[in-house]
Amino acid sequence: MRVLLLSFGFLLLINTLVAQAINPKLKITALTHNFYIYTTYNTYENTQVPANGMYVVTKEGVVMFDTPWDTTQFQPLLDSIQARHHQPVIMAFATHWHSDKTAGLEYYRQKGIKTYTTRKTDELSKKNGAKRAALLMDNDTLFQVGAYQFQTYYPGPGHTEDNIVIWFPKEKVLYGGCLIKGASDTNLGFLGDGNVKEYIHTLKRIQEKYPQPKHIIVAHSDWADLNSLTHSIEMAELLHKKEQP
């Protein structure tokens, strides 16, 4: 009987390890030189949903865009970055106030990391009880960290009233967050805090400002397909027409 119990326990352990290998809590994927996509997971409407963030490795340290949705992965992400790149995270930006972007801001601020949001995001975070950054941007802002230059850009309301995107002009990397949906998505996702009428105009501003990106990073879908922005515009246009009287 004891042998059977031990065998059952061993099989259970193996199954658990296999499941963890298939469904890791944290996944890091190389995008292009010194750019990496990290993915954590959380449950939304009884479904396990991935949440993509990005970080860039510079000689000055690592810059992170959005924080893990899974609150158990705040420190593992820092540890993984340190082990892989031998660099600390020095800055963290959140692209809108929802928890899949802001959840780790307070934790990282306490770790001595400079945390950033727009002032509009901070107002909405405060109103909705979300985590807040220490440093606020009043306008679109250009940053230079080591050899990398990037710009924060507010194109208008869409997924939320405060959503911004990040643009790396030299590398032509567009970090769209939740504002831009995946090329295979069938809808624009949760719009309870969004602006259905303006969504189409907001996305078109992005397309006009950054016409030829080499990479477009989206929050909850496959980020390898460059048709994501065009497809999002098509979905927003259909939604806009439905809202017309």
Q: Per residue in 46-72, pLDDT tens?
A: 788 999 999 999 999 999 999 999 999
Which among 24, 97, 37 has a CA at the least distance from the CA of 222?
37
| pLDDT attached to residue 1 | 47
Local structure of residue 160 (DSSP, 8 states):
S
| pLDDT attached to residue 23 | 57
The domain ranges of the chain are 26-243
| pLDDT attached to residue 43 | 83
Percent of the chain as helix, strand, coil, to the nearest 5 = 35, 30, 35
| CATH fold of the domain at 26-243 | Metallo-beta-lactamase; Chain A (3.60.15)
| pLDDT attached to residue 13 | 40
| pLDDT attached to residue 155 | 98
* Sign, Cα dihedral of 53, 56, 62, 63: negative
| pLDDT attached to residue 3 | 44
| pLDDT attached to residue 245 | 61
- From residue 166, alpha-carbon distances to 48, 78, 93, 217 in Å are 26, 21, 10, 10
| pLDDT attached to residue 241 | 79
| pLDDT attached to residue 244 | 65
Q: Say if residues 74 and 61 touch (Cβ distance below 8 Å).
A: no
Query: What residues in the chain have per-residue pLDDT under 50?
Result: 1-22
